[in-house]
A and B are shown apart, each in its own frame.
Chain A
């Protein structure tokens, strides 16, 4: 294999990891947003729920369009990599820590059914439904989609800007929105069957790997194998997180586990 083909392979791997990370992160967040939108639609009516969703998505797309190119053009690459790498590290560690704690049984798993029931109960006990635009439904749907989507925007901006593939990252996020939305429309309810916790662990590993990689590049580290180091980092973090989950799951010495 020539050095040029090896380099091309590494770039392809890097793009693949970027697309998978953005797609999975967006899908997980959109499943959570869908739960809120469906709860709003079922209890308060679909028109305002869908309007709130559409406006939130438009604002999120606007944020990417406004901030993304400015980041790429005006911030020096090494600074961008350190800041973005730091952000990805913090975000990724948060996702990964939650996944580890859930795997160890120390944190309740994300239960879309329970969240759906709570939302429905909250919205049903509020003011009565009105004809025309329902401001409560609009606001709850907007807030749900916007807040869940904001994390996706940060991931799209950070990964897309540092890899200089903002368009591809945005497309991967949009694809996730379309896929989750389409599946949600077909089954007409929240997607409680999606293995969110496993997906969050995968995304956490990818974000921490990217965060480590870009931070290193930003401060002047030359990773062995260039972009291929991303895959090595991801594998090492995945194994470490799995081991940590197993270790935390064991009761401390001398303790008796109660069923």
Chain B
């Protein structure tokens, strides 16, 4: 258990969305190549999907880093 937890923490850390996003990007690229048969599109689609993962994860981190807005009720 401890060994598994160590590797999970080592590979995933506090950004599980990066792992999920990477897997989805690879899965979508594989589907485009082997399912749809459009290899050329993947040359652009794969980097774009990777960038979308980075952007969404960074936005999530920014939302978590920002202090909660002050409530009007408290004023």
Contact = CB atoms under 8 A, between A and B. Distances in A.
Contacts of A229: 43
A237 interface: yes
Interface residues of A, number: 36
A96 B43 contact: no
Given A93-B54, A219-B33, A82 B22 contact: no
Contacts of B61: 97, 101, 106-107
A208 B58 contact: no
Contacts of A241: 54
A115 interface: no
A86 B23 contact: yes
Contact of B43 (A82, A97, A221): A221
Contacts of A101: 58, 61-62, 65
Contact of A90 (B22, B47, B55, B62): B22
Q: How large is the interface on B (under 10, 10 to 19, 20 to 34, 35 or more residues)?
A: 20 to 34
Contacts, number: 95
Nearest to B50: A212
Interface in B18-66: 18-19, 21-23, 25-26, 29-30, 33-34, 39, 42-43, 46-47, 50-51, 53-55, 57-59, 61-62, 65
Chain B interface helix/strand/loop/mixed: helix
Contacts of B33: 219-221
A244 B26 contact: no
Given A216-B46, A219-B33, A89 B22 contact: yes
A233 B55 CA distance: 16
Contact of A82 (B10, B26, B47, B54): B26
A93 B62 contact: no
Nearest to A208: B50
A41 to B, nearest CB: 26
B11 A90 contact: yes
Given A106-B65, A212-B46, A237-B47, A86 B58 contact: no
B72 to A, nearest CB: 15
Given A216-B29, A236-B47, A248 B62 contact: yes
A240 B54 contact: yes
A107 B58 CA distance: 11
Given A93-B18, A220-B33, A100 B54 contact: yes
Given A89-B50, A212-B50, A233-B47, A97 B22 contact: no
Given A94-B15, A215-B29, A106 B62 contact: yes
13 contacts: A82-B26, A89-B26, A89-B50, A93-B50, A93-B53, A97-B57, A97-B61, A212-B46, A215-B29, A219-B29, A222-B39, A223-B43, A248-B62
Interface of A: 82, 85-87, 89-90, 93-94, 96-97, 100-101, 104, 106-107, 150-151, 208, 211-212, 215-216, 219-224, 229, 233, 236-237, 240-241, 244, 248
Interface of B: 10-13, 15, 18-19, 21-23, 25-26, 29-30, 33-34, 39, 42-43, 46-47, 50-51, 53-55, 57-59, 61-62, 65
